[in-house]
Structure 1
Amino acid sequence: MTKGDFKKLFDEHFEQVRSYLFFRSGDTELATDIAQETFLKIWEKQHFIDETRVKGLLFKIANDLFASYYRKEKRSFEFFKHYKPEEKSSTPEEALVFTQMKENYNQALERMPEKQRTVFLMSRVDQLTYNEIAEMVGVSVKAVEKRMKLALNFLRTSLRVNE
């Protein structure tokens, strides 16, 4: 792998790897750090890489690094700790309703099992196809479909209870 090939690989996949890690961690800085470390590992092992399967390898390494980080640190997960979407409303009443809905949604995402949350956010936020998610996460498309179905049912149930 030449420097040019590596740069192309980095340019094509860095944002996807970072987004995947953000969906898992809820921390932009951590996601960026682990994504950079993932590409460092790829650079170090470049002689042993099958370039046709490098995308799956990227996500496998990123996943392993993420799991290792949390095993070492033993931190609790707080999704959207630093994430604040832009709020636009025309009246104070709409702002209150939006704030309540956002809180209920974020609480439901925090309670959602990690595997379901990851697939849900990759699909809805990053707008990835089930095939792309399956490749990144390292599971079958059927597993992605099942996780998405469970995530949607979880949200539907959770948001109905909080109404």
Structure 2
Amino acid sequence: MTTPESPEIEHGEPRGDRAHFLQVFLSQRSQMEALVSRRVGCRATAADLVQDLFVRFWRRPLVQVEELSTYLLRCAGNIAIDHLRSEGTRVRANEGLMAEPAHCMGGEPQAALEAGNDLRHVEAALRALPERTRQIFLLNRIHGRKYAEIAKAMGLSQSAVEKHMMRALEACKASLRECEPRMPGKAL
């Protein structure tokens, strides 16, 4: 019988499981970094995110999955999406802190309410987009990547990136048209 102090057990798990995890992780690392890099548009950020993923797994008990390499790739894709979401939130928060809109300074709460409503409509429209279209939009509008950079990172033609951006922008415009019937100064 082995005890938690015995050399065969580490973190409450057999050392063989940790060794297997480490072997699979290292063999998949370059694929995970490539996947994350394509999504976030930065190799250094991708390397950091994959390292964070490793630390998360290493600190907690290992999950028993049928195909660890596939599971790790899926987790890498998810961590890239989480990163893009948090970056978008941070950028919006920073823009909100830096900019003092004239309609908010003038004490017009109705204008601020309408702007918030418009923003919710646009965010809903973006969430409804196909994932690739949404990623391209975020890389361009949030991360400031040029169409050529996005095309190269995602393995697409620049024309395809432009088409995805047109779809995303049209969805945003359509979402604003849906809430447009109200005219300033007129009751609803």
TM-score, with length taken from structure 2: 0.45
1:122 touches 1:133 (CA, 8 Å); kept in 2?
Answer: yes
Q: 2:156 maps to what in 1?
A: 139
Alpha carbons of 1:18 and 1:101: their partners in 2 closer, same or farther (altered >3 Å)?
A: farther
Q: 1:58 maps to what in 2?
A: none
For residue 130 of structure 1, report the CA deviation from its aligned partner.
0.8
The CA distance in 1 between the partners of 2:113 and 2:51, in whole Å, is 43
Alpha carbons of 1:18 and 1:65: their partners in 2 closer, same or farther (altered >3 Å)?
A: farther
Q: 1:100 maps to what in 2?
A: 117
For residue 159 of structure 1, report the CA deviation from its aligned partner.
2.2
Question: Which of the numbers 3, 26, 48 marks the counterpart of 1:36?
Answer: 48
RMSD: 4.2
**1:134 alignment partner, SS class:** helix
The CA distance in 2 between the partners of 1:117 and 1:154, in whole Å, is 11
Q: 2:166 maps to what in 1?
A: 149
Q: 1:68 maps to what in 2?
A: 74
Alpha carbons of 1:18 and 1:113: their partners in 2 closer, same or farther (altered >3 Å)?
A: closer
Aligned pairs for 1:23-62 (under 5 A) are: 35-38=47-50
The CA distance in 1 between the partners of 2:134 and 2:77, in whole Å, is 19
| Aligned residue pairs, count | 112
Percent identity over paired residues: 29
Q: 1:115 maps to what in 2?
A: 132
Q: 2:145 maps to what in 1?
A: 128
Rg comparison, structure with higher value: 2
Cα distance per residue 1:72-124 (max 9 Å; x no partner) = 9xxxxxx57x9253264222223212211221111111112111111112112
For residue 141 of structure 1, report the CA deviation from its aligned partner.
1.1
- Quick one: higher RCO (CA 8 Å, sep 6+), 1 or 2? 1
* More divergent stretch after superposition (109-118 vs 92-101): 92-101
**Alignment gaps of 5+ in structure 2:** 1-35, 53-69, 79-84, 181-188
The CA distance in 1 between the partners of 2:171 and 2:73, in whole Å, is 24
Aligned pairs for 1:7-18 (under 5 A) are: 17=37
For residue 132 of structure 1, report the CA deviation from its aligned partner.
0.4
1:105 touches 1:159 (CA, 8 Å); kept in 2?
Answer: yes
Question: Which of the numbers 12, 35, 40 marks the counterpart of 1:20?
Answer: 40
Alpha carbons of 1:19 and 1:137: their partners in 2 closer, same or farther (altered >3 Å)?
A: closer
The CA distance in 2 between the partners of 1:133 and 1:71, in whole Å, is 17
1:116 touches 1:148 (CA, 8 Å); kept in 2?
Answer: yes
TM-score, with length taken from structure 1: 0.51
